Amino acid sequence: MKRCPKCDRLFEENLLKFCRTDGTLLLSSLSDDVDTVILPVAPVAHPSKSDLSQTFSIAVIPFTNLTTDPANEYYCVGLADELVRAFSRIEKLQVTAPTSSFGFRGKGVSVPEIGRVLNIEAVLEGTIRRSKDEMRITVQLVSAQTGFQLWSERYERQTSDTFSLISEIALAVVNALDLPLSEAEQFAISKRQTENSTAHQLYLRGRFHLSRITAERLRAGVEDLKNAIAEDPNYALAYAGLAEAYYLGTGVHQPPSESLTLVKEAAEKALELDEDLAEAEALLAIVAANYERKPQEAERRIQRALKLAPHSLLAHRWYGCFLMTQGRLAAAIAELCRARELDPLSPNVSVLISHTYVFARQPHKALKHARRAMSLADNFWLAYWSAALAYEQLGQLVEALDQLEKTAERDTSPWILASRARVYAKLGRREVAELLLKELDEHASNRWVPPYLIATVYFALDDHDRAFEWLQKAYDQYDDTLNYLAVCPLMDPYRSDRRFIDLLRHTRLDQSNAMTHFVVPVYVDGLSSGRLFGSSSL
């Protein structure tokens, strides 16, 4: 039974969405349910029928666990994560990435405040009460402008029968917003990936572990995903999750030559079982670029991934990185700015934009975005490392060292050691640089260290032969940092060296991209925009 919140009329037709009297969106009549928070109701701001280009924006907050069992946390987060994945397939529904939206859970932040910070129009949130055999889930969509409820529903399921929940909730939200769905979008969010309850639970728990991105959690995530596949060998999403886990572990658990082989195997199996998995396409694009050295195939795959999931953060971020390697820096910045719209609180995206401006020989802009990353996460070491790169490019080496000291306080990454060694070498402190290089070698004895890093130190020490030896090792070991060879400013003095030119050819990077680039402001009608121009080497 449903109730009109405006005229209070009751309707017995469960499929009816709008009041026959006044057209108001109907609500469940079970308003006395203690698990449901009832908010004032306001009309939904639907996209105009005359403006089909309009996109509605939404954020999903992990559901609240109403039980005392902390083990249910993974399901609360997993359900929200799967809803984000489903919404990312819908062109007219922009969904904020979990890395930005999930942090609001349990913080007591009002929905309008969340809307202001994330620049979205609505928030989807809910609660889960779960026992051994039964589950009750309440969901509500709340306007970020007014704080009024736009839609709500309650779902009761056996714990062994939760497969259709994601598609039911996603379709209900789309219907409540009156958003247009293509046949392909309807199919994508309605598809059941497994009928095996145990496999589904293992998949959600595995994804929950991966979201923590620590070495221990990655291992746990891989184990859960493998067990999910053992339960259901035809579970395409589990294979895609396993491929992502292997990719996240690249350089942590295994060198790229080993991990990328596993990424390819798992992602290809995922696509074999479901040819429309955007996640698998994006990961195979990474393999094509970093392992197979086929940039055209990489771009074809990543563009298909974006067609399948227009709001996939993974696809937009990786496409931005790929465009960097190809020297298409203006396009890279545009793509990464799109990623920032999806993930506005991510320091990682700001760091990637900072790196792009370093490659564009715009260190002041690079520094600006590095500082933005610091403001988002003070302990994020990559932000300080990015600022050090910008200062190094500016020739302000003392300032670069200061940033690297702050970086070293936050992490022990070999990237930090290599940067410090390189800056000390440029300052004429060769003995310090060589000590740091020795320390870097010791790191390499018990973990994988990108050979490209060591090559940059030898270049700074004017030992070009050793530097090119390490660049060759980077090529042999599938070091993805080598993909930036054509645009990296550290390589500018060596671009005429035959060994450099040969290496570019082997990595299938366009020789025309072995030129520096710069972004200059272009003023159109009083507004400034970035435009990219190429120039010969500095």
pLDDT at 278: 95
Query: Are the C-beta atoms of 164 and 192 separated by less than 8 Å?
Result: yes
Comparing CA positions, the residue from 105, 112, 56 lying closest to residue 79 is: 105
pLDDT at 224: 96
HEC states along 465-503? HHHHHHHHHHHHCCCHHHHHCCCCHHHHHHCCCHHHHHH
Calpha distance 443→455 (Å, rounded): 15
pLDDT at 25: 55
- How confident is residue 526, by pLDDT bands cut at 50, 70 and 90? very low
- How confident is residue 70, by pLDDT bands cut at 50, 70 and 90? confident
Strands 122-130 and 64-65, by their bridges, are parallel
pLDDT at 58: 97
Element containing residue 157 per DSSP (H, E): strand 149-158
pLDDT at 49: 35
* Residue appearing with tokens 């109907």: 26
Calpha distance 169→139 (Å, rounded): 8
Calpha distance 395→13 (Å, rounded): 72
Which letter does DSSP use for residue 193 in this model?
-
pLDDT at 122: 96
pLDDT in tens, 161-204: 777 788 899 999 999 999 999 999 999 988 888 989 899 989 99
Calpha distance 64→139 (Å, rounded): 10
Least confident of 4-18, 75-89, 92-106, 491-505: 4-18
Calpha distance 151→296 (Å, rounded): 45
pLDDT at 28: 56
Mean pLDDT over 52-78 rounds to 85
pLDDT at 512: 63
Element containing residue 124 per DSSP (H, E): strand 122-130
Query: Are the C-beta atoms of 403 and 385 separated by less than 8 Å?
Result: yes
Least confident of 319-323, 365-369, 521-525: 521-525
Residues of the chain with pLDDT > 70, as a percent, come to: 84
pLDDT in tens, 373-390: 999 999 999 999 999 999
Query: How many DSSP H helices and E strands does the chain contain?
Result: 22, 11
pLDDT in tens, 131-165: 777 889 999 999 999 999 999 999 998 877 777 78
pLDDT at 266: 97
pLDDT at 13 over 50: no
* Residue appearing with tokens 């051994």: 132
Calpha distance 60→139 (Å, rounded): 11
From residue 287, alpha-carbon distances to 291, 299, 325, 473 in Å are 5, 11, 14, 19
Q: Which domains does the chain have, with CATH numbers?
A: 1-29 (no CATH), 33-190 (3.40.50.10070)
* Residue appearing with tokens 């392909």: 184
pLDDT at 527: 36
pLDDT in tens, 205-236: 999 988 877 788 889 999 999 999 999 999 99
From residue 267, alpha-carbon distances to 161, 202, 308, 449 in Å are 27, 18, 15, 25
Element containing residue 179 per DSSP (H, E): none
* Residue appearing with tokens 């997993």: 78
pLDDT at 528: 36
Mean pLDDT over 5-16 rounds to 52
pLDDT in tens, 283-330: 999 999 999 999 999 999 999 999 999 999 999 999 999 999 999 999
Calpha distance 400→94 (Å, rounded): 38
Calpha distance 161→127 (Å, rounded): 18
Strands 93-95 and 56-60, by their bridges, are parallel
The chain-wide mean pLDDT, for the chain, equals 85
pLDDT at 48 over 70: no
pLDDT at 343 over 60: yes
From residue 199, alpha-carbon distances to 203, 204, 244, 329 in Å are 6, 9, 18, 42
Most confident range, picked from 29-33, 69-73, 90-94, 126-130: 90-94
pLDDT at 465 over 90: yes
pLDDT at 68: 80
pLDDT at 5: 59
Mean pLDDT over 419-443 rounds to 95
- How confident is residue 62, by pLDDT bands cut at 50, 70 and 90? very high
Residues 6+ apart with CB under 8 A from 274: 191, 193, 236, 237, 280
- Residue 470 vs residue 39, higher pLDDT: 470
- Alpha-carbon dihedral angle through residues 174, 159, 62, 58, given to the nearest 10 degrees: 0
Comparing CA positions, the residue from 14, 17, 105 lying closest to residue 63 is: 105
